[in-house]
Amino acid sequence: MKIIRIAVTPIAFRDPPLLNASGIHEPFALRSIIEVETDNGYIGLGESYGDAPALAIQQQLQSQLIGMDPFNLNQLRAVVKATVAANKPASVAGAELAPGSHASKAVSNAYSAFEVAFLDVQARSMNLPLVDLLGGAVRDRVPFSAYLFFKYAQHADSPYAPDSWGEALSEAQIVAQARRMIEAYGFKSIKLKAGALEPEHEVSCIKALKKAFPGYPLRIDPNGNWSLETSIRMAELLGDDLQYYEDPTPGLEGMAELHKRTGLPLATNMVVTDFDEFRRSVALNSVQIVLADHHYWGGLRDTQALAKMCETFGLGVSMHSNSHLAISLMAMTHVAAAVPNLDFACDTHYPWQEPDEEVIKGGKLPIVDGCVHLTREPGLGLELDYDQLGKLNDQFLSCGIRQRDDVRQMQKYKPEWKAVKPRY
Ligand code: GKR
Ligand code: MG
């Protein structure tokens, strides 16, 4: 089997005005959609970062992968490494909220973008679901959590009609957002993106969620925007409210000290983002749960390797997300289904994406009882809707955004806004 065509199509889809530690989401999120076509008529799909540096590497790789055997993942990795070495990407400010955009992740994220499509093609050619190439499914449905955000009602300059979720700044509004998300998708656990408003207020919102949803595991994620002192103070207020405390304070040392002082289980997608940081984290006992993400951990198989390392060192494992569509969600689901020690419901931004902006046939994937279900369809089980792909590519071309910048976007609301970490 030989690869005869590769397509990398950048897309942009509407993204709500969600608040975070850096600022606020821009009106459009960027992704790339990868197609890998073989001489015997199979097409494998991948989804990855659509920011300019990531896209440039994916596009450079396009022609170099023609003629390759999609089973040869070692060759894919070697070609990716050589291409990145020859075209060193520049570092991007504020990349910690989109770890895949960081220059140090260029190899792992470009490799992952194509590895998923290669594995999809391999599985299709054998008429097997992709998860079977990862050792088989240990579960046929993967749990995700309700991912809540503080948000404004609409974007600055109103680029399009406001989303249907409305403003969420108060406790009551956050509880209403959770209720709607849980009613629609059946989620059984709740994550609150924090680091955006006063810490005491964010903790009050956790208390309100605890009261409204008794027994639901709760998590708060300030994205390293709280100092060590603030994180300790908030930990005292939170008591045993949390399932885990996600990235409250920056740095491996800061997290280690926080764990020592509070004993709380700490999770991260910020201080352990590669195997070197993993090693240092184990030495310091910085975190107890690693949130994997195949997009920057080097693909589905390296995510399994990470899960194995977590098992070896007695750490929990779950999954991080950025704004994404169905191909990413399905790849996350297949790998999560093949990780025996997946201990917690995974994150997903998927409910925040609009139903008319999916690129696969059949529209948005269902999330039922908080889970994405695996099917026995070959590969990822997804087909592209080319009209939708074209529409979202046109939107990419016209939206004017080429690199995520939540700080610059916040300056449209608050001109004095600066990137400060930790802010509180
Ligand atoms: O979408 O604003 C966001 C999140 O803050 C995202 O950028 C983070 O990478 O979801 C992520 C997280 O768990 O830190
Ligand atoms: Mg996080």
Cβ atoms of 108 and 77 closer than 8 Å: no
> Is the residue at 219 inside a domain?
yes
195 and 306 in one domain?
yes
Q: Identify the domain containing residue 181 by its residue range.
A: 136-373
Q: Do 211 and 197 share a structural domain?
A: yes
Residue 26 lies in a domain: yes
Which member of 191, 259, 320, 324 is catalytic? Answer: 320
Instruction: Say if 217 falls within a structural domain.
Output: yes
Q: Does some domain include residue 403?
A: no
Collect contacts of 52-56 with beta carbons under 8 A, ≥24 apart. Answer: 52/402, 52/403, 53/89, 53/90, 53/92, 53/101, 53/103, 53/106, 53/403, 54/100, 54/101, 54/106, 54/109, 54/110, 54/113, 55/8, 55/10, 55/30, 56/87, 56/89
- Phi/psi of residue 175, each to 5°? -65, -40
- Shared domain check, 283 and 260: yes
Task: Looking at the structure, tell me whether residues 126 and 142 fall in a common domain.
Answer: no
Q: Looking at the whole model, is its pTM more than 0.95?
A: yes
- Which among 92, 191, 223, 290 is the best mutation to test ligand 1's pocket, defined by most ligand atoms within 8 Å of the CB? 223
d(CA 232, CA 293): 27
As for ligand 1, residues whose beta carbon falls within 6 Å of it are 18, 20, 97-98, 193, 221, 223, 269, 320-323, 347
Contact 30, 11 (CB under 8 A): yes
Nearest CA to ligand 1 atom 13: 320
Q: Which of 23, 12, 8, 6 is nearest to 223 (CA)?
A: 23
Total domain count, the chain: 2
Is there a domain that residue 190 lies in?
yes
Q: Is 320 among the domain residues?
A: yes
Atom of ligand 1 nearest to the CA of 19: 2
Look at residue 45 and tell me if it is in a domain: yes
Probe target for ligand 1 pocket from 221, 287, 350, with the most ligand atoms within 8 Å of CB: 221
Alpha helices in 95-170 (DSSP H): 106-125, 130-133
Identify whether residues 69 and 142 lie together within a single domain.
Answer: no
For residue 254, report the distance from its CA to the centre of ligand 1, in Å: 19
- Same domain? For 148 and 270 the reply is yes
Residue 328 is part of a domain; what is its CATH number? 3.20.20.120
- Say which CATH number the domain at 120 has: 3.30.390.10
> Does 161 map to a domain?
yes
- Ligand 1 atom showing the smallest separation from residue 247 Cα: 14
Digits of tens for pLDDT over the chain (424 positions)?
Answer: 999 999 999 999 999 999 999 999 999 999 999 999 999 999 999 999 999 999 999 999 999 999 999 999 999 999 999 999 998 766 665 556 765 567 889 999 999 999 999 999 999 999 999 999 999 999 999 999 999 999 999 999 999 999 999 999 999 999 999 999 999 999 999 999 999 999 999 999 999 999 999 999 999 999 999 999 999 999 999 999 999 999 999 999 999 999 999 999 999 999 999 999 999 999 999 999 999 999 999 999 999 999 999 999 999 999 999 999 999 999 999 999 999 999 899 999 999 999 999 999 999 999 999 999 999 999 999 999 999 999 999 999 999 999 999 999 999 999 999 999 999 9
Nearest ligand, CA 195:
1
Tell me the CA–centroid distance for residue 271 and ligand 2, in Å: 10
- Catalytic residue check, 320: yes
